[in-house]
Amino acid sequence: MTAEPHAPPPTNPCAGPAAARTGSGRAHAKVILLGEHAVVYGAPALALPVPGLSCTASAVLSAQPGHGLTAYRYRDAAGDAAASDVGSQAPKALRHLVKTLLNRSCPGEVLAVDLALDNGIPMGRGLGSSAACARATVNALDDLLQLGLCATDVFDLVQLAEGQTHGRSSGIDAWATGSTRPVLMTGGRVSAPTVGAPAWVVVADSGEIGSTKEAVALVRETFHREPARRADFLSRSATLTATALEALDSGRLELLGRQLTANHRLLFSLGLSTPALDRLVEVSLGHGALGAKLSGGGMGGCVIALAGTSQTAFRLATELTRQGARGTWTASIDERGADD
């Protein structure tokens, strides 16, 4: 007589092996090539991953009793550690994110985790730092508890944190901080644009901290006061992005560059630039960039400059640093995606 095979008892992902594990997660920075702000209203925008700037997260089940985030350590881009390791001093958005993920994935369990973030992405520079921290955290908890979250689950959780950090957000940061390829977002949906020829983007930090939440609110108030400006801005931004996509597809980098510079002027007209950003744009255009613009929320943060060769990108980065940029990074536009 042979024994019937037994179905294995259902396993609780939150019990057992996780006790001895460290979960690791990672996400990277992004810049917006075209279409910021317009994308909040459903118009298209194009983002580029910056894999050289990243945030890593480590999560363990806490030895202390509690629920949600118990201990939290944060090290920033300058290598400075936050003074406190008490979980209650973590950003509200991260605490909410951890609690929500644990409640959803391990219903009925009272679980506490300790989280350490090593964030090399400067905050408040339009580089997607908050989204990358949230994404690295979700990935670390997914790894710790072996949840097998799908891309949409991860996106939804990152968006939950982004909603608390920035208020209304399009979701482009939440996708682009986890993508190795350029990301096109239109009407809330994402796809990968085709790239006809490689190009390089130099990112230059003005050193000024901008608040995406305030910038988005400023645009919303302007549109509320002057509805005609909303229609005009959205239609111009959409046209620039559409032309840029054609230029990217056919490898016409000069045409692409012109769309970037025109997009800078459009964002300037809404009061989103600063003298420091304008100056970095001028320096870029005067030293071989095919186009340049502020990137992200604006009112501070970074400028991006398009270069047709890696040599031009290197020269641009050197000149931008000489002319006051606090940091520069280079990312390539390449359909195959960057190594991450």
Give me the residues that bind ligand PMV (CB under 6 A), please: 32, 36-37, 39-40, 126, 128, 169-170, 172-173, 212, 216, 296-297
Q: How far is the CB of 145 from ligand PMV (least distance, A)?
A: 28
The packing angle between helices 227-250 and 212-225, to 10°, is 120
**Rama region for 28: left / alpha / beta (φ>0; ψ in -120 to 50; rest):** beta
Joined together, the tokens standing for residue 213 give: 């939440």
Nearer to ligand PMV, 19 or 209 (CB): 209
Nearer to ligand PMV, 128 or 257 (CB): 128
Q: What angle do CA 217, 222, 226 make, to 5 degrees?
A: 150
Position closest to ligand PMV via CB: 296
Q: How far is the CB of 171 from ligand PMV (least distance, A)?
A: 7
Nearer to ligand PMV, 36 or 205 (CB): 36
For tokens 């000069």, the residue is: 254
Rg (CA), the chain: 21
Q: How far is the CB of 296 from ligand PMV (least distance, A)?
A: 3
Cβ contact 155:174 at 8 Å:
yes
Q: How far is the CB of 32 from ligand PMV (least distance, A)?
A: 6
The packing angle between helices 92-105 and 151-166, to 10°, is 150
Cβ contact 85:126 at 8 Å:
no
Kindly list the distances between the CA atom of residue 120 and the CA atoms of 75, 78, 133, 204, 334, in Å, as whole numbers in the listed order.
Answer: 8, 8, 10, 15, 23
Nearer to ligand PMV, 273 or 312 (CB): 273
Q: How far is the CB of 333 from ligand PMV (least distance, A)?
A: 17
Q: How far is the CB of 131 from ligand PMV (least distance, A)?
A: 7
Nearer to ligand PMV, 6 or 224 (CB): 224
Question: Nearest CA to 267 among 218, 331, 328, 324?
Answer: 218
Nearer to ligand PMV, 147 or 292 (CB): 292
